[in-house]
Chain A
Amino acid sequence: MRLASFIVSFALLGAACGSEPAVPEAWVWELPDTVPEPRVPEDNPMTLEKVELGRFLFYDKRLSGNQTQSCGSCHRQELAFTDGLAQAEGSTGQLHPRGSMSIANSGYAASLTWANNTLVRLERQALVPMFGEEPVELGMANRESELLQRLREDERYPEMFAAAFPDENDPISVDSITKALGAFQRRVTSFGSRVDRWQQGDRTALNASEQRGLALFFGGTNAAGVQDALECFHCHGGFLFSQSSDDAGQVFDQKFFMNNGLYNLDADGSYPPGNQGLYELTGDPTDKGKFKPPSLRNIAVTAPYMHDGSIATLEEVLDHYARGGRLIESGPFAGDGKDNPNKNSLLNGFAMTEQEKQDMLAFLQALTDEDLLNDPAISDPFAE
């Protein structure tokens, strides 16, 4: 009898605090065996309902002040969630100093955006494009009540938010928006390229040229006889093809930023004003020109390259690394990046034959994941 009354008491406890919520369906990761699961924040577990809500919000132009832009406007699926621009443009026409980064595999990034060591969670990073003022991106600063009202008046959202956040009495909130966006982005994984299939054991997935490129990328000896001549994998290796890589099993802080010799304006190795990389956050002069090496997956469809889109083609990227830094002969940004004092010590340049260059280009192009570019499950639900 004592046990029964205890159970009754707990039922009353449940009744006092709210009615029994519907249970959302847990997300199941479909990843190759060779890849770890991404870290999922404890306060934002992955569910089907939350991910689908996040997809709608990601592509919804009502998340911008003037309703002309959504996250998907600058993160376009057909360009592996980039926008083809050197510098991103906000909803009111203000230019960002840097280009839009791909959100594919962003759930694995040890830090987010090009050169910010404090943005380490997708949910918090979403606040920057939503509410940032310099530049204005989506342009919702001070308009959160208006945003929530737009969503409440929609036919679908009240039910979608309730299904995704059943424990919330008022599920439509800025917090739930960022959590849904975080869950959607976290599920946009990309491990379906031919390089991935090769690495998972399919020895027909890459042709001979691509295989030679892969070998050079991962520390192979070049035609000139130099071991690990290209050194690519040091910054762009690992399962993420970027050293800045976190996952559910990581216990160490793997944030990573480095200077690859793009500019050298003065004796301090300065980069152009307003685009000095990690230095702008830390104030440490040795951080001038340090940026996060992005993942190279889908790199063939995410031109132009570097944080400011200042290298247009992959051929020119390879030339840049072969030289060991960029020479700008005249103009306001003149200087030889090869001599930048903060340049990563591994970037000493290398000899590259024409065949080796073609092999590298072939390999880089084989990193494109066609499934990512075409998967309807992550496409724009508002598109006609």
Chain B
Amino acid sequence: MSRVQIVLATLAMATAGCGSSSEGAGGQAVTIQFAAKVGAADFVCGSTYENLGADDSTLTLSDFRFYVSDLELKDSNGDYVAVALDTDANAWQTANVALLDFETGCTDFGNPETHEVVTGTVPEGTYDGLRFKMGVPFDLNHQNPPTAEPPLNLSSMEWDWQGGYKFLRIDSGDFSMTDWRMHLGSTGCDGDPVAGGTTACTAPNRVDVELASFDPAGDTVVADFAALVAGVALDVDHDAPVGCMAGPTDSDCAPLFENLGLPFDGSSPGTQAFFSVE
């Protein structure tokens, strides 16, 4: 190699080390609209809702956030095609996970910004169905949150007791120990003191959602809290904490998991009813 070639090669390595370039994907842009509701009403941070669950309970809802991943749209052949998420300069989306945020900072654990869409690209075509998971993929779920890319570096979405994230957080009242809440994440995880990471989780708790008839141009994915708590006794708490924080030993989680189509404590999963199309 000539002297000039060596210098150029080294400088090329230097710039590669010091920065990165992102590649643009081909295809067409797509925006998937989400909405948070409580029955027929829109979720509004800090609003009070009645006739919830098996006891016709009243709750003042104060947080409503969830991660989605592995979004796929169904093409005209009936095949599901992955949506490549927009990740450049996007604090809400990274790799293949996006944070939907409907709260507006009505409590100390939230923030004023909302994010109600997932944006990305798919190959050119027409699409009429949607599939996704509610959750953070395993390879991202157990990383070190302080050094993670947004939206995975929010302390209010960390779930440090099991070394992961809250896939879903819906809280009520003032976040006191007696306020009802639902936090969902992977449980039954195991840590490895030798390598330092998490090896596996017996209950991944990622919710599979298939909306077989969904038009990205005009339809909205609705996350309905009333449907999530249908048949759930919200005024009774059998096991700490109040509500469900996905603890595998908390019997109050069983009906909520059923409404998410997740198995709980060995039971067969029910049918996912939290997400629907409007």
Contacts and interface: CB of A to CB of B under 8 A. Distances in A.
A173 B153 CA distance: 11
A133 B175 contact: yes
B35 to A, nearest CB: 24
A132 B147 CA distance: 18
A244 to B, nearest CB: 9
B259 to A, nearest CB: 19
Nearest to B171: A133
Given A13-B11, A283-B187, A94 B144 contact: no
User: What 8 A-B pairs come out closest when comparing CB atoms?
Assistant: A283-B248, A9-B10, A175-B146, A120-B191, A174-B146, A274-B240, A13-B14, A118-B191
Interface residues of B, number: 48
Contact of A119 (B18, B188, B191): B191
Interface stretch (A75-83, A139-147, A232-240, A367-375): A139-147
Interface string A88-132: 000000100000000000000011000011111101110110111
Contact of B194 (A8, A128, A246): A246
A175 B154 CA distance: 12
A255 B187 contact: no
Contacts of B177: 94, 134-135
A250 B194 contact: yes
Contacts of A121: 196
Contact of B144 (A119, A175, A280, A283): A175
Interface of A: 1-2, 5-6, 8-10, 12-13, 16-17, 39, 41, 94, 110-111, 116-121, 123-125, 127-128, 130-135, 140-144, 173-175, 177-178, 246, 250-255, 273-274, 276, 279-283
A115 to B, nearest CB: 11
A141 B169 CA distance: 14
Interface of B: 3, 6-7, 10-11, 13-15, 17-18, 108-111, 144-147, 154-156, 158, 160-163, 175, 177, 187-194, 196, 198, 202-203, 239-241, 245, 247-249, 265
Contacts of B145: 127
A174 B148 CA distance: 11
B155 A140 contact: yes
Contacts of A283: 187-188, 202-203, 247-249, 265
A191 to B, nearest CB: 20
Nearest to B199: A253
Contacts of B203: 283
